[in-house]
Every structure is written in C-alpha cells, then in structure tokens.
Amino acid sequence: MTTVEMRTKISFIELLGTLKQLGIDELSEIASTAVRLRANSRQQVLSKHEATLLQQINSALTPAEQARMDMLIERRQAEMVTQAELAELIALSDRVEEIQVERLSALIELAAIRDIPLDDVRELQHSLAPQ
C-alpha cells in the first residue's frame, strides 16, 4: 500500500496532485469508494424498476449450470464430448449470451434512468444492490 503525505487542510488542486502519487490499483479503489460514498450520501433509494434492473445485471447461470458447462468444456477440449453433450453445451452457451445481452440492456437502461455514464453504473451496481 502506498502512503502519501498530506496536510490536514488541502485545496482540491492539492488533493489531485496528491492522488497523482498513487498507482492505478489504488486510484481505482479510491474511485470506487468515492462513487459508493456519493451514492450513500444521497441516500438513494431504489425504485422497484431499478431493483429489477439490478437483478438482471447481476444474474448468471446457477452454480450447477456453471459447473456442468465447465465440465462440458473440459470434455470438448479433451475431444471426448458426445453429440448430446455438445448440444447441451451449445444451449448453455446460448443462455450465457442471453444473460449478457439482458445484463447490457439493463446497464444501459439504469445509466439512462440515473443520467450517468455506463462505466459509473458498473461501479455503482454493487453499492446499489437491494438489501
């Protein structure tokens, strides 16, 4: 962890100069924390629609489906997959693609609702997740 030296009271310009001393990982952590702090300070409450969008954003295959897909990929790579298994793998792959399309669509819609850039929505999605 990098440490920076700063006085108790500094101007915004001085703060930015101090941040330049940090590495990319530390800057990313600060940016994520700042976004969460901003969201918390606004005491944002999710609408039912936003909660639904976040569920779509965070959806994925079930653990059992993911394990099955991983096993089928291994069998295909080992050239031991049957035609039925290959069809199952293709169906699971299609489902992953559907989930990704739904996720992107929900991210775009949430960004529009919040009137913020798409990258900011990605940062916020964990801090805005319904409790």
Structure tokens, 102: 């739904």
Residue 24 is part of which domain span?
1-43
The pLDDT-based confidence of 131 (bands split at 50, 70, 90) is: very low
3-state secondary structure the chain: CCCCCCCCCCCHHHHHHHHCCCCHHHHHHHHHHHHHHHHHHCCCCCCHHHHHHHHHHCCCCCHHHHHHHHHHHHHHHCCCCCHHHHHHHHHHHHHHHHHHHHHHHHHHHHHHHHCCCHHHHHHHCCCCCCC
The pLDDT-based confidence of 89 (bands split at 50, 70, 90) is: very high
Same domain, 39 and 65: no
Environment class of 61 (CB within 10 Å of its CB; exposed 0-12, middle 13-18, buried 19+): middle
Residue range 62-88: mean pLDDT, rounded: 97
How much is the pLDDT for 14? 80
Q: What pLDDT digit, counting tens, does each position of 15-74 carry? A: 778 888 887 778 777 877 777 776 666 555 678 898 899 889 888 999 999 999 999 999
- State the pTM of this model: 0.59
Same domain, 33 and 65: no
Same domain, 24 and 59: no
How much is the pLDDT for 101? 96
How much is the pLDDT for 41? 61
* Domain count along the chain: 2
Same domain, 60 and 74: yes
At 20, the amino acid letter reads K
